[in-house]
Structures are given as structure tokens and as C-alpha cells.
A and B are shown apart, each in its own frame.
Chain A
Amino acid sequence: GAGVSQSPSNKVTEKGKDVELRCDPISGHTALYWYRQSLGQGLEFLIYFQGNSAPDKSGLPSDRFSAERTGGSVSTLTIQRTQQEDSAVYLCASSLSLGPQDTQYFGPGTRLTVL
């Protein structure tokens, strides 16, 4: 079946512009996660959703970052007033539920470059 998809695959933007990243999870997966990987660093957890709810937003790097999920499916990660330090690969994952026994399946990522 179809895996996790993300769009766009690449995004180049100018500093100060807003960007929106999209994640389409595996059908039927209730849990959805956003991560980012900056150059030379490990993966950084940003936020997770159980259904449409994100109980903990503390992992988001700043208040310029926001995420939403509607209909328990597609999620968007929005970065306002982008900065050069926002350049990274943004990864989305989904799992059947939030249980620790559920494997997370990752999408291919969106490579964001802020000039």
C-alpha cells in the first residue's frame, strides 16, 4: 500500500517568507509525527498528533512554527517568517496508534532551504 507522502520534496524560499509543508500519512494511522534534521545534527522531534489533537507543542522550535491536522489525516507544518536556521529536512511519520509498540513509518521528507 501507499506509504507516507510529503510535499513538496524540495522548497527554496527567501528569508522572511512563510512556508507550508504537507504530510499525508498512511491510511488508517491515527498518530502522526513531525521531525526535522538539520545538517550535521541528529533528528529533532517537533510535534505529534493523536487524531487531530496535538497535546504537546513544546517541541516546536519557536512560535513561528505551527502545525495542524484536519480530518485525522493530512497534516501541515507552517513556518512563518522563515530564518536561515530553519533550513533542514523536515520529516513526517505515522503509526497505527500512539502505543510504543507501533512502528513509525517515515516519509521521504521535505528539504527546506532558506536563502
Chain B
Amino acid sequence: KQEVTQIPAALSVPEGENLVLNCSFTDSAIYNLQWFRQDPGKGLTSLLLIQSSQREQTSGRLNASLDKSSGRSTLYIAASQPGDSATYLCAVSDNDMRFGAGTRLTVKP
């Protein structure tokens, strides 16, 4: 059974810092991996979708990488801003969609 782990569970950084969120999964036979953002009281927002054949995707200040063979993905956020404060979830798709427990990010002004 696929298991998805996110480290750290929580992270607090000062504004302007670059940071990396980590996601690992146990079964490398995935179709894709997605990074989501969840704001309190709101639904999920899809940030980046990486197909299994891809190594990375970029959107603005966000860059997500995928190393399928080692079962790892990272989400890199450049020049963090207070508005980036949220919970970040990664999810892998094989026959189902499995989510990690998330990393709660706080960016302090």
C-alpha cells in the first residue's frame, strides 16, 4: 500500500527566505505527483502537477522536483512571503490518490 510522508510537519521562516518542503512515497509506480496548498477554511489549490516522466515543474516562485526511483519530491519556494503561509500537501496518483499529512508553513513578516 502506498504511503506518503511529508517532512517537516511544521516550518516557520522569516520573510524572504528560500525553503524546501519534502515529500516521500513508498511505491515508485506512480502516474503523477501533485503539490497542493490548503488555507484554513478553504479547499485545496493545486500548485504543480508532475507527470511520472517529468523531473520538475516550475510556476513563479515555486519549483517542484520528482525523483521517482528514490520515491522523493521536493517543493522549493523562493523568496518566501507571509502570503505563502498555509499547509502544503503532496499527493501521488497510482490507482488511487494518496496524500501526505502536510507541512504547515508560517512565513513571518
User: CB-CB < 8 A to B52: which residues of A?
Assistant: 100
Query: Is the Cβ of A108 less than 8 Å from the Cβ of B43?
Result: yes
CA distance A29 to B46 in the complex (A): 16
Q: Does A109 sit at the interface, judged by CB under 8 A?
A: yes
Query: Is the Cβ of B89 less than 8 Å from the Cβ of A43?
Result: yes
What number of A-B contacts does a CB cutoff of 8 Å give?
Answer: 50
**Candidates A4, A42, A93, A104; contact of B4 at CB < 8 Å:** A42
Q: Which stretch (B59-67, B68-76, B94-102) binds chain A?
A: B94-102
Assuming A4-B43, A106-B44, is B96 touching A101 (CB within 8 A)? no
Q: Does A59 sit at the interface, judged by CB under 8 A?
A: yes
User: CB-CB < 8 A to B36: which residues of A?
Assistant: 106
Summarize B's interface: helix, strand, loop or mixed.
strand
B: number of interface residues (CB 8 Å) = 24
User: CB-CB < 8 A to B100: which residues of A?
Assistant: 42
CA distance A33 to B42 in the complex (A): 17
A: number of interface residues (CB 8 Å) = 20
Assuming A91-B43, A108-B43, is B4 touching A103 (CB within 8 A)? no
Q: Does B21 sit at the interface, judged by CB under 8 A?
A: no
User: CB-CB < 8 A to B31: which residues of A?
Assistant: 100
Assuming A103-B46, A104-B34, A109-B43, is B51 touching A45 (CB within 8 A)? no
Closest to B95 in A: A56
User: CB-CB < 8 A to B43: which residues of A?
Assistant: 4, 91, 106-109
Interface residues of A (CB under 8 A from B): 4, 33, 35, 41-45, 59, 91, 93, 100-101, 103-109
Interface residues of B (CB under 8 A from A): 4, 31-32, 34, 36, 41-46, 49, 51-52, 89, 91, 93, 96-102
